Amino acid sequence: MSWDIQSLFRRHAKEITRALRRRGLPEETAADITQDTFLRVLASPPQDGTLHHNPRAYLHQVSRHLSINHIQRIRRSAMLDVADDVLTRVADPAPSPEAVIYDRQRLRQVEAALAELPDRTRLAFERHRLGGQTIAAIGQDLGLSTTRTWALIREAYRHIVLRTGGL
């Protein structure tokens, strides 16, 4: 038997779906896994001796493996219903003291790197990154082309990354 996916689908799809339903899967999930089975076989049919393979058995084997993967994925992602007051006791939204110190050190490094930049480059960067202005608007205010303004901002980014070790 050849690996003509259309004829295999017509011949075996309902049978595979029924087998998946007998394994306890809902109808929609069984139909999805059946389609995934044929997509998997279409994407990569068996390579060794396809003339002597039993396509029906191979399709059932693929669907069985996909259903096992599906069931394991559901078990791993089981969700618990936890009350809001319990969640607030578990997760503290405040950063740790170490994170605060580290972030302050990094900010000082960025401030120092910005202070080293030429005024026009620093101004373009601050207006773009901190002020949220467009490159065109900054260029117009500074009397520069959009391309030159972007080059200044890019220089500032490069300088900050080099001075701070890549943040």
CATH label of the domain that carries residue 51: 1.10.1740
How many angstroms separate the CA atoms of 44 and 36, rounded?
Answer: 12
Nearest to 123 by CA among 153, 143, 81: 153
Q: Which residue has the higher pLDDT, 76 or 22?
A: 22
- Position 98 in a domain: no
Q: Do 22 and 68 share a structural domain? A: yes
- Position 55 in a domain: yes
Q: Do 70 and 130 share a structural domain? A: no
- Position 22 in a domain: yes
- Position 59 in a domain: yes
Contact 20, 12 (CB under 8 A): no
Q: Do 67 and 122 share a structural domain? A: no
Q: Over 80: is that where the pLDDT of 167 sits?
A: no
Q: Do 9 and 62 share a structural domain? A: yes
Name the average pLDDT for the chain: 87
**Structural domain count, the chain:** 2
Q: Over 90: is that where the pLDDT of 52 sits?
A: no
Q: Mean pLDDT throughout 86-113?
A: 86
Q: Which of 10-19, 25-34, 37-46, 137-146 has the lowest mean pLDDT?
A: 37-46
Q: Do 116 and 56 share a structural domain? A: no
Q: Mean pLDDT throughout 127-138?
A: 92
Terminal Cα-to-Cα distance of the chain (whole angstroms): 59
Q: Over 50: is that where the pLDDT of 1 sits?
A: no
Task: Give the number of residues written for the chain.
Answer: 167
Q: What is the CATH number of the domain that holds 136?
A: 1.10.10.10
Name the packing angle between helices 5-22 and 27-43 (round to 10°).
Answer: 140
Domain C-terminal end among 53, 76, 99 = 76
pLDDT above 70 covers a percentage of the chain that reads 93
Band of residue 48 on the pLDDT scale cut at 50, 70, 90: low
- Position 67 in a domain: yes
- Position 52 in a domain: yes
How many angstroms separate the CA atoms of 2 and 124, rounded?
Answer: 66
Q: Mean pLDDT throughout 44-56?
A: 71
93-117 burial, b at 16+ Cβ within 10 Å, e below that, comes to: eeeeeeeeeeeeeeeeeeeebbeeb
Residue 83 CB neighbour total at 10 angstroms: 8
- H runs (alpha helix) in the chain: 5-22, 27-43, 55-76, 84-90, 97-116, 119-125, 135-142, 146-164
Domain that holds residue 69: 5-76
So what's the pLDDT on residue 91? 66
